[in-house]
Amino acid sequence: MTEKQTQAQIPLKQFYNPEDIISLDYETQLNSPGRYPFARGRQADLYGASGWIQRELSGEGDPVRSNEQIRYLISKGQMGIDVIGDSPSMAMLDPDHSLAANAVGTQGVSLCCLDDYRELYKGIPLDSISVSSSLPPIFALAGLYLAAKEEGVSPLKLRGSVLQTPFYAEDCGYAMQMPFNLRLRLALDSMEFCAREMPKFHSFVEDTYFFSEAGLNVVEEMALGFVEIRHLVREMIKRGVDIDSFAPRIAILVNCGMDFFEEIAKIRAARRLFARMMKEEFGAKDPRSLAVVITCHTSGLSLTAQQPFNNIVRGAVQTLGLVLAGVQAIEVSAFDEAYRTPSKESHLVGLRTQQVIHLETGVAKVTDPLGGSYFIETLTNEIESRIWGMVHDIEAKGDPAELSYEGWFRRFFQDAMERYGKQINEGRLLKVGANIHQIPDEEDTMLKEFTEKKFEPCWDRIEKIRLYKKGRNQKKNKEVLQKIHQAAKQPKASLIEPVLAAFADGATMGEIAGVMRLAYDYPYDPHGVLEPPI
Amino acid sequence: MKNSRVLIGILGLDQHEVGAVAVARMLRDAGMEVVYTGRFNLPAMIVQTALQEDVDVIGLSVHSWEHIYYLPELLALLEKRQAAIPLIVGGSIITKADEAGLKKMGIAAVFGPSATRQGIIDSVTALSGEYRGLWKKHG
């Protein structure tokens, strides 16, 4: 008989005893929820009356269509917004780029200029709802900041977040073809700007979700996440920014797969690691700097194209685990995600999954209900020590910029992708409906009607943006882009103010990203089609 | 016998790479020569590389709907260059209706979510053998 183990290959015993946690010191390792080291939760009354932020990742078509989608979700009880861009937007290309032609608005919303953000947020109460996004952070920030100001909402009031992915984006899903140093600088500039101008806004969400979807286990997921967090924190300290001015606005967006207890232990371990690191290593003093906000998007990779109804069960199990672990916001991956950009129906199922768990089961009434379990505490300790060990192993390899340039991270992700494929093929990772308990295709019809519904790219938007660009004052546009180029050439200048000015003056994401690339001796258009406008 | 030479790539701005990487390595491990073109390819780039590299089969991993528009263009380009290189399309997003449509369009083999390792290897082997036979006949 093979030894039982978790998905991250942590050996398991048949059961756990008091002896397993005999060396656990309650005060220093656990403590009450809301107290250092926050393993049991960042607050004592974690879910209060309203629960966690329940939302679904949305975005499709043009900004007007996505605005309707957001309003629909809010009308069904969604408590926060999280919008994802289409693939051109994620790659920082405007919709009129030739490579974008067949992808405008199909895998998310198409956003490229301030007008788009105005339409996206029209009529949305930006002063009271948290606005998160899975978009290139500098543009999401600029769009929200400027749109809110025009609506008379002070940026001081804005809540929400942007994802900062300088380390791994190029290698794993969201390549924007920018050099490492520029990606890093944009993240740091944003954090510095927000610490001053948008103090309630989480300017640095460490997104461990997207890269762990390469098939990473929980230890690898969090280790790579911490490597990135630590690097950004050190760089901010080097810039002379007070740690307590930005650390409270760091959050982690984690993945959640199907190994139930392992995922719970991962989140508890991450909170404790973060608190200790901030206090002991980086000298943070504000308790809010130590108690990290953790949010989650449940794993799309854990879902199957076969028997899509099984995905609803998976979403429910993952959501339950996340609530038991005490996260601050949840998005459930859509049951039809294996096939398509989420349907309206699957969004509703995701939201209702959260509402049923919140309002019917009572699991959110007591904070950290699993705290003290012999098993959970043992697993939390084990995962914590494995994450920490791996963080130090990676840091010992040298400068992360060098690792990134020489392809170490990319190889790591590709090896994980290969390993994951093999685990499924060889049946070592079981997926009901996919590699066990399969049914013939002709029987596999339930909920499949949603998978066959497709929608076309927004062809008309391509022409609209072309006309928009022609209609601007070309001379002025060139000037604002030149200013960004100049600022980008000066390593100490902040890029945020010139980007805000250019965005306000009508420059587009593709243009702004392009001139920043140029300043770093990268091609304006990574795909070699467009001529630089400056 | 010469090993199969296979191009594996992704079209347009689709950045989902898990499937392409897993399949590329799987075919390599099965003894084939793999030309991996990665992300961000337009049909013309795929055809150009396929001809330059003299591949026996083109395998495209699709996880967005962009392929609906790019594949007819790619097939037309192959025909224009008088290169009958068989095209295989794979991806978990491919539905039964998609599969039927793709085959009708002229895609030699389609692999949806239930594809097996052996099924893909056998298909690549058979198609490249056929293609090489064809090549010899004409050349």
ipTM: 0.90
Could you give phi then psi for residue A255, rounded to 5 degrees? -90, 165
Contact A338 B93 (CB under 8 A): yes
Q: Which domains does chain A have, with CATH numbers?
A: 162-302+371-438 (3.20.20.240), 477-534 (no CATH)
pLDDT of residue B135: 63
**Shortest Cα–Cα distance, A39 to chain B (Å):** 33
Residue from the list B15, B66, B114 with its beta carbon closest to the beta carbon of A306: B114
**What is the pairing mode between strands A80-84 and B87-90?**
unpaired
Convert the pLDDT of each residue in A444-458 to its tens digit.
999 988 888 889 999
pLDDT of residue B18: 86
Residue from the list B13, B18, B40 with its beta carbon closest to the beta carbon of A215: B18
Could you give phi then psi for residue A50, rounded to 5 degrees? -100, -10
What mean pLDDT comes out for the span B125-130? 93
pLDDT of residue A517: 98
Residue B92 has pLDDT above 90, yes or no: no
pLDDT of residue B1: 56
pLDDT of residue A206: 98
pLDDT of residue B132: 86
Residue B138 has pLDDT above 50, yes or no: no
Closest by CA position to A93, among listed A180, A190, A178: A178
Determine what percent of chain B is predicted with pLDDT higher than 70. 96
pLDDT of residue B96: 87
pLDDT of residue A453: 86
pLDDT of residue A478: 97
pLDDT of residue B2: 73
Residue A229 has pLDDT above 60, yes or no: yes
Position B139 confidence tier, pLDDT thresholds 50, 70, 90: very low
Position A352 confidence tier, pLDDT thresholds 50, 70, 90: very high
Q: pTM (2 decimals)?
A: 0.96
Please list every residue in chain A whose beta carbon sits closer than 8 Å to the beta carbon of residue B65: 102, 106, 340, 454, 457
Please list every residue in chain A whose beta carbon sits closer than 8 Å to the beta carbon of residue B14: 87, 103
pLDDT of residue B133: 84
**What is the pairing mode between strands A53-55 and A57-58?**
unpaired
A533–chain B Cβ distance below 8 A for any pair: no
Please list every residue in chain A whose beta carbon sits closer than 8 Å to the beta carbon of residue B97: 452
Residue A46 has pLDDT above 50, yes or no: yes
- Whether domain B38-110 has CATH 3.40.50.280: the reply is yes
B132–chain A Cβ distance below 8 A for any pair: no
**Shortest Cα–Cα distance, B34 to chain A (Å):** 15
Please give, one letter per residue, the 3-state secondary structure of B31-100.
CCEEEEEEEEECHHHHHHHHHHCCCCEEEEECCCCCHHHHHHHHHHHHHHCCCCCCEEEECCCCCHHHHH
The DSSP bridge partners found for residue A251 are A205, A293
B118–chain A Cβ distance below 8 A for any pair: no
Contact B39 A338 (CB under 8 A): no
Contact partners, residue A280, CB within 8 Å, separation at least 6: none
How many other C-beta atoms are found inside a 10 Å radius of the C-beta of residue A36? 17
pLDDT of residue A183: 96
- Cα gap A209→A193, rounded to integer Å: 25
Convert the pLDDT of each residue in A244-256 to its tens digit.
999 999 999 999 9
Q: Say how far residue A181 (Cα) sits from the centre of its chain.
A: 21
B17–chain A Cβ distance below 8 A for any pair: yes
**Please, what is the average pLDDT of chain A?**
96
Residue from the list B17, B93, B97 with its beta carbon closest to the beta carbon of A340: B93
Convert the pLDDT of each residue in A494-529 to its tens digit.
999 999 999 999 999 999 999 999 999 999 999 999
**Where along chain B do its domains lie?**
38-110
What mean pLDDT comes out for the span A295-300? 97
What mean pLDDT comes out for the span A300-319? 96
B48–chain A Cβ distance below 8 A for any pair: no
pLDDT of residue A2: 62
Determine what percent of chain A is predicted with pLDDT higher than 90. 94
Contact partners, residue B109, CB within 8 Å, separation at least 6: B86, B88, B89, B123, B127
